[in-house]
Structure 1
């Protein structure tokens, strides 16, 4: 019988990994309100042709009152669970800061950055950054929630240097799940009045409203940019993650 060195085990044959893994190189973390059914689907649609970017999601439950500010206590374990995938950037995919105030949104981002260890944004701050990027200072507002909340949004933006002379909000109050189910005709009817008057763009605030799918058509019709809050969230995430690039088919903001 011949003898020799013992064969190497499988574990010994595999060295500690180095280099880039196949598949997406950039990871985006997204915190989604539990009643939002648009966030994942719209982001995945927008990223369908971007093989080097992946989006990862974690859910939390919104407080019952629209006037409640979102902070780390509301988000619970959702940010920490996203931190486990080591995202390059993270976003709170909600717009409540549009009416509760930009300062609270910046505080939330600071809290998220501590927990996750990556740059953070919110849908509200992403919209505000998009307005600056496109040089828009007088915009029509589209909001699928109650008109009194829409008026609070206009006050917050006016204090931050952006006028909203036209507000389009529905006559009936819809629950968040209902907003996600409205049809294309309903969305179009909500968007159209926001282009009236002397505006240099339109903002759609409400990440569960599927207005992103109608942005290109309305931009072509009226000749001004349309900023959708769900689209703006992805746009800002890509910038923070060092993965900014033009993505066609979703309007001027993502195309730039």
Structure 2
């Protein structure tokens, strides 16, 4: 028997309980026959006022992930999609691999995570070597993101972190500020691509627009992660209006 609505794939989506952006973003990209089943990782809305408090909160989310995995697996999804990004960059390339392996061992199915999805997206565009990235994080977490991309073969020319004061505040960052940060990251046009990390930062549509006026790949992590999950499951549908990644690759 086949699920009536998820006849192609049922995706279990893992995201922090404070996150209000991933769920609607993934629904916007969902093709017919694919269903998303959100499992919230318990996350107090901690105030992040320093490198130490941000990193402690991020690691707590990582520690609570497997509870959300066990919960969502009761609906027997075919595949998992990680809707939280910071923990997937922690520990560089080896840390990302270890995180993926831990979740897959617990779930018995595959998972797409933000770090791996972003590097796959950069390679899909082709010709990308030098990048810049934007996050809602604190500097210590940006260091982990930089380490991951560097170990994955990319040169990080510059990065910016918004230092959002709480998990919920990430979803409150206005587009005007994000547009300014993208322009700043582009600098003199000396980067091949710009990446946005932090899944509660609403950037899917802005990144798609920025690709047109910057003339280069601008990758929102939610777009990259869902694209990666679709393609990993043999679903090649092209989704229009949310950037070149889903339209072309």
TM-score (norm 2): 0.85
Q: What is the Cα deviation at residue 234 of structure 1?
A: 0.5
Q: What is the Cα deviation at residue 70 of structure 1?
A: 7.0
Moved more, 242-251 or 212-221: 242-251
Corresponding residue to 2:193 among 195, 201, 204: 201
**Residues 138-188 of structure 1 deviation map (CA, whole Å, 9 limit, x = unaligned):** 111111222343244223322221111022333x54322111012221221
Structure 1's consecutive aligned runs of 4 or more residues displaced over 6 angstroms after TM superposition are none
1:229-240 → structure 2 map (5 Å cutoff): 229-240=221-232
- 1:182 counterpart = 2:165: no
Contact kept, 8 Å, 2:69 with 2:106, in 1: the verdict is yes
Match of 1:254 in 2: 246
- 1:142 counterpart = 2:134: yes
Provide closer, same or farther for how the CA distance between residues 242 and 146 of structure 1 changes in structure 2, counting only shifts above 3 A: same
Structure with the bigger RCO (C-alpha within 8 Å, sep 6+) is 2
User: What secondary structure, in the 3-state scheme, does the structure 2 residue paired with 1:165 have?
Assistant: strand
Q: What is the Cα deviation at residue 105 of structure 1?
A: 2.3
User: What secondary structure, in the 3-state scheme, does the structure 2 residue paired with 1:250 have?
Assistant: coil
Provide closer, same or farther for how the CA distance between residues 73 and 103 of structure 1 changes in structure 2, counting only shifts above 3 A: same
User: 1: CA distance between counterparts of 2:171 and 2:23?
Assistant: 12
**Residues 3-62 of structure 1 deviation map (CA, whole Å, 9 limit, x = unaligned):** xxxxxxxxxxxxxxx4x4532311111110111111101111222xx2211111101135
- Higher radius of gyration, 1 or 2: 1
User: 2: CA distance between counterparts of 1:146 and 1:231?
Assistant: 22
Corresponding residue to 1:52 among 33, 47, 54: 33
TM-score (norm 1): 0.83
Contact kept, 8 Å, 2:55 with 2:140, in 1: the verdict is no
**Residues 204-245 of structure 1 deviation map (CA, whole Å, 9 limit, x = unaligned):** 011110011201210110110111111111111112222232
User: What secondary structure, in the 3-state scheme, does the structure 2 residue paired with 1:51 have?
Assistant: coil
Match of 2:48 in 1: none
Match of 2:49 in 1: none
User: 2: CA distance between counterparts of 1:155 and 1:103?
Assistant: 11
1:25-104 → structure 2 map (5 Å cutoff): 25=7, 26-47=9-30, 50-62=31-43, 65-66=54-55, 69=59, 73-96=63-86, 97-104=88-95
**Residues 77-120 of structure 1 deviation map (CA, whole Å, 9 limit, x = unaligned):** 21112112222211222222324323222222222223322211
Corresponding residue to 1:226 among 202, 213, 218: 218
User: 2: CA distance between counterparts of 1:230 and 1:127?
Assistant: 9
User: 2: CA distance between counterparts of 1:91 and 1:46?
Assistant: 13
Q: What is the Cα deviation at residue 72 of structure 1?
A: 7.1
More helix by share: 2
The runs of 5 or more residues in structure 1 that have no matched partner are: 1-17
Moved more, 88-97 or 202-211: 88-97
The runs of 5 or more residues in structure 2 that have no matched partner are: 45-52
Contact kept, 8 Å, 2:130 with 2:192, in 1: the verdict is yes
User: 2: CA distance between counterparts of 1:72 and 1:178?
Assistant: 20
